[in-house]
Structure 1
Amino acid sequence: MPPKKAAAAEKKILLGRPGNNLKIGIVGLPNVGKSSFFNVLSKTDLGKAANFPYATINPEEARIPVPDPRFDWLCDLYKPASKVPAFLTCIDIAGLTAGASTGAGLGNAFLSHVRAVDGIFQVVRAFDDAEVIHVEGDVDPCRDMEIISTELRLKDIEWVEKHLDSLKKTGRALGNTSLADKAKKEEIATVQKIYDVLTKENKDVRKVEWNNKEIDVVNGLQLLTAKPVTYLVNLSERDYIRKKNKWLPKIKAWIDEHNPGDPLIPFSVALEERLANMSDEERKEEEQKLGVTSALGKITQAGYASLDLIRYFTCGPDEVRAWTIRRGTKAPQAAGVIHSDFENKFVCGEIMSYEDLREFGSEAAVKAAGKLRQQGKPYEMVDGDIAYWKAGA
C-alpha cells in the first residue's frame, strides 16, 4: 500500500475581524500628544490639539499612505499616469482616564470607539513640560501604561462576565447528545477560559495561544485586549535627537513583563511638527544636520504589519497600485478587493514576484525566464506579488 499522506497542518485563523479594510486607533491618556501626532501623521489639523482633557470627543479618521520602496521602484519602471499606494486607516480617539471602564470621563464612549478599531497605537508621554498639564499630576509613563492596560482589561472582564452569565443560563438545559448542544458547551468552556485569562492570569487575550475553534469565539466577542498594540513613546525633541531618555529602559521593562513582544517606537511629536512645516528640501537638510529622521514612516509600517496586512501590486502604464489584503488571503478574494466580479468569475491570476521583476528588469524578461506563473483558486497571495487577473465574462 502507498504510504499515507501526512495530514496537512491546520491553517491558523487570525485574531480580529476578517477583512482588508482594517483600522488602527490612537489611544492614550489626555495630553500625551495623541491629536498632535494624528495631525502630523495625516498632514491635517482634524484632531483638536489642546492643553486640556477631552479636547477630542468624536473620533477623527484619516488614510495614511504606507511608505514602500517597492512601490516607488515600480512607479519609476512603469511611469504610470496614476499612482495609488497602500493606505492605513488611522483614527484619533479621545483620551482615556482612570475609571473609564466604569464610565468616568468619556469612558463608555471612548471604549466603544476602541472596540470599533482593529489595532491600537498607544501613545505614551515621556517628556516634562510645565506648560502641558498631565491629567495624573506628573509624568510617569509606566503608571500611564498600567492605567490603560487595566481599563481595557476591566472593560473586557465586564463584557465577558455578562456574556458568560447569559450563556450559562441557556446552557443549563443542554444535553450531551446533539451536535448543537456539544458546540454550545464548547463555547461556554472557551468563554470561561477567556474570563480566567483576564481575571486569574491577568493577561491580555492576544497574549495566549488559542486554537481555531477558540479564536472564532474570541473574534465574536470583539475584545479590547485582543487587539494588537504598538507602543509609541513621545519624547522631547532633545531626547529624541540624543537617543536618550530616563524613562525608555523602564517602559521597555514594563512591556517585557506585561506584554512581551509588542513593538516599541520612540518618536518626538515636537520634532515631527517642526519637520511637517518644512519643504522636502528643508526637511532633508534638517534631518542631516540633526542626525535623525522622521519616525512617521516606521510607525505607519509597524501599524500596518501589526494588523497582519500585506499588499500586492497591479502595474501598467495607466496605473501602478498597491492593494491591501490580510495575510493568508487566497487569489480569488485578493482579486475581489478590486471588484467583486473578479472574485465571482475568477479564472486565474498571472503572478510574478516583485523580486523577480527587479532581478530581470522587465515583464518580458520575467516571462522568458519562466518566472511568470498561472495561479488558480487555492493560491495564497504573498506580500509583494504583482498580479494580472483573468475573469470570465
Structure 2
Amino acid sequence: MKLGIIGKPQSGKTTVFNAATGQQIGVGDFSQAVHRGVVKVPDHRLEQLAELVHPKKITPAEIEFIDAPGLSGKGKESAGLEFSAELRQAEAFITVLDAFSDNASPEADLQEILDEMILLDQALIETNIDRRERKIKLTGDKSEQAELALLKRCLATLEEERPLIDMQLAPEEEKMLRGYQFLSRKPLLIVLNIAESDLAQADTIGGGFTRFVEPGRRELTVLCGKIEAELVALDEAERRLFMDDIGISVPAVEQLIQKAYSLLGLISFLTAGEPEVRAWTIRRGTTAQRAAGVIHSDIERGFIRAEVVAFDDYITYKTHAALKAAGKLRLEGKEYVVADGDVILFRFNV
C-alpha cells in the first residue's frame, strides 16, 4: 500500500513523515524533493504465532509513505506539477494541516487543498472530453461514448465544487476512471498537527472536524508531529515512559496505519509455517481464491480449498491436531469471504 503525504508548506508534513518512518529528513526543505519510506505494519499476532510455529522469519505487511512538496493552493495555475506521477499512484492521501502555529487556519487550509485537487481534476477532464469529442467527430468512432458521458458527469460534479469521491459509481464506471488517477477521487486521512501545549485538548480539537469524517472517504486523526518525531529517536523503554508522561497512548505511525486501514477497508490474513509467519493485506470482502492470488497467481489459478483457523482459536489450541479435534479447522471453498486475522493454508494444484 502506498500513501501520499500532502499539505501546504510549513504544515509539518515532513515532520509527520519522519514520525511515521523513523527517518530524519530536514524540515523546511524547499528543494521540491520527494521523500519515501517503507514501514512495517505493527501486528502483535505475528509474534504470537511465531511462538507456536517457530518460523525461520517473520514478515509483516508494509506501507510506503511518500512525502511530497507542499501545495500552493493555486489550483489550475499549478498545472498539476505539484502532484507527481508517483504521488498520483497513491491509494490515499494523508493531508497534514497546521493546527499548531499562532495564525493557524486548518479548516481554510483543508478547503484550499480540496479546491486545488478539484481544479486540477477539472482541467484534466476538460482536456480528455475535448480530445474524445474531436476523435468522434473526425472518425465517427463512437466506442468511447460511454466513457465520454461519464467524464461529463464527473465534470458536472467538479463544477459544483464537489470532489469526485462523492459520486456514486457502478463497478464498471469505477474501472473506466481508474487510469485517470483523479486526485479528488482518492480517500483522505486528515491529520491535525497540533502543538505540544494542546495535547490535553486533542479530543476536543478533533471534535471540531468530525463533520468532515465519512467512512471510506475521509478519516481524521490528531497528533503533535514535533513530539512524535522525537519519540522515534528513543529506544522502546524511553519511548513508553515519555508517552506515558505526556499522555500519548498510540504512537503516530500506528495511528496513521490504523486509520489508513479503516479508510481503505483493509484487513490482514495470516500464514504460519516453519519457513515463515507472514501478514498479507487485502480488501475487506475478498474471497479465498482472490486472497490466494495475493500470495501467488499460481495459487489462485490452481485453488482447491482453504484450511482456515481464526487467530484466537489458533492461540487457544496451539497445534493442528488440537484445532482439528476441537472442530476449529474449517475447509472453505473459493467463495469464502476472508476475515481479519484468519490463519490460512491454501491447497492448490497447477
TM over 0.5: yes
Q: Equivalent residue for 1:291? A: 247
Q: Equivalent residue for 2:130? A: 165
SS of 2:327's equivalent in the other structure is coil
Q: Is the 8 A contact 2:21 2:253 kept in 1?
A: no
Distance 1:337 1:328, change over 3 A: same
Distance 1:261 1:327, change over 3 A: closer
SS of 2:218's equivalent in the other structure is coil
- Code of the residue aligned with 1:222 in structure 2: it is Q
CA distance in 2, matches of 1:110, 1:385: 37
Q: Is the 8 A contact 1:204 1:225 kept in 2?
A: yes
Q: Does residue 49 in structure 1 map to residue 27 in structure 2?
A: yes
1:146 to 97, 102, 111: 111
> Matches of residues 372-391 of structure 1 in structure 2 within 5 Å?
372-391=329-348
- Code of the residue aligned with 1:288 in structure 2: it is D
- Code of the residue aligned with 2:326 in structure 1: it is A
- Code of the residue aligned with 2:313 in structure 1: it is D
SS of 2:173's equivalent in the other structure is helix
Q: Equivalent residue for 1:282? A: 238
Q: Is the 8 A contact 1:101 1:111 kept in 2?
A: no
Q: Is the 8 A contact 1:88 1:304 kept in 2?
A: no
Give 1:233 deviation, angstroms: 0.6
Give 1:223 deviation, angstroms: 0.7
Q: Give the root-mean-square deviation of aligned CA atoms.
A: 2.7
> Matches of residues 100-249 of structure 1 in structure 2 within 5 Å?
100-103=75-78, 107-128=80-101, 138-172=103-137, 181=142, 184-200=144-160, 202-243=161-202, 248=206
Q: Equivalent residue for 1:7? A: none
- Code of the residue aligned with 1:48 in structure 2: it is G
- TM (norm. structure 2) is 0.89
- Code of the residue aligned with 1:367 in structure 2: it is K
Post-superposition Cα deviations, 1:44-99, rounded to whole Å, max 9, x if no partner, equal: 22x3322x5x34x2322222122223334323433433111111121111111121
Q: Equivalent residue for 1:310? A: 267
SS of 1:304's equivalent in the other structure is helix
- Code of the residue aligned with 1:30 in structure 2: it is P
Distance 1:39 1:239, change over 3 A: same
Aligned-pair identity in percent equals 30
Post-superposition Cα deviations, 1:192-243, rounded to whole Å, max 9, x if no partner, equal: 111111112x211112221223222222322101111000110111211443
- Code of the residue aligned with 1:121 in structure 2: it is I
Give 1:109 deviation, angstroms: 4.3
Distance 1:368 1:249, change over 3 A: closer
1:93 to 44, 52, 68: 68
CA distance in 2, matches of 1:392, 1:113: 37
CA distance in 1, matches of 2:264, 2:169: 17
Q: Equivalent residue for 2:305? A: 348
CA distance in 2, matches of 1:26, 1:339: 30
Give 1:268 deviation, angstroms: 0.5
Give 1:121 deviation, angstroms: 0.4
- Code of the residue aligned with 1:49 in structure 2: it is V
Distance 1:58 1:326, change over 3 A: farther
Q: Equivalent residue for 2:15? A: 36
Post-superposition Cα deviations, 1:155-175, rounded to whole Å, max 9, x if no partner, equal: 000111111222223345899
CA distance in 2, matches of 1:249, 1:364: 50
Q: Is the 8 A contact 1:66 1:301 kept in 2?
A: no
Give 1:307 deviation, angstroms: 2.8
CA distance in 1, matches of 2:51, 2:216: 40
CA distance in 1, matches of 2:185, 2:220: 18
- Code of the residue aligned with 1:24 in structure 2: it is L
Q: Is the 8 A contact 2:216 2:263 kept in 1?
A: no
SS of 1:157's equivalent in the other structure is helix
Give 1:358 deviation, angstroms: 3.7
Distance 1:359 1:125, change over 3 A: same
Give 1:313 deviation, angstroms: 0.7
> Matches of residues 59-74 of structure 1 in structure 2 within 5 Å?
59-74=34-49
- TM (norm. structure 1) is 0.80
Distance 1:259 1:301, change over 3 A: closer
Q: Is the 8 A contact 1:102 1:108 kept in 2?
A: no
SS of 2:295's equivalent in the other structure is coil
Post-superposition Cα deviations, 1:339-363, rounded to whole Å, max 9, x if no partner, equal: 3332333333222222332444433
Structure 2: tracts of 5 or more residues without a match:
none
- Code of the residue aligned with 1:342 in structure 2: it is I
Q: Equivalent residue for 1:10? A: none
Give 1:28 deviation, angstroms: 0.3
CA distance in 2, matches of 1:319, 1:260: 32
Q: Equivalent residue for 2:226? A: 270
Q: Equivalent residue for 1:325? A: 282
- Code of the residue aligned with 2:181 in structure 1: it is Q
CA distance in 1, matches of 2:347, 2:203: 54
1:338 to 271, 284, 295: 295
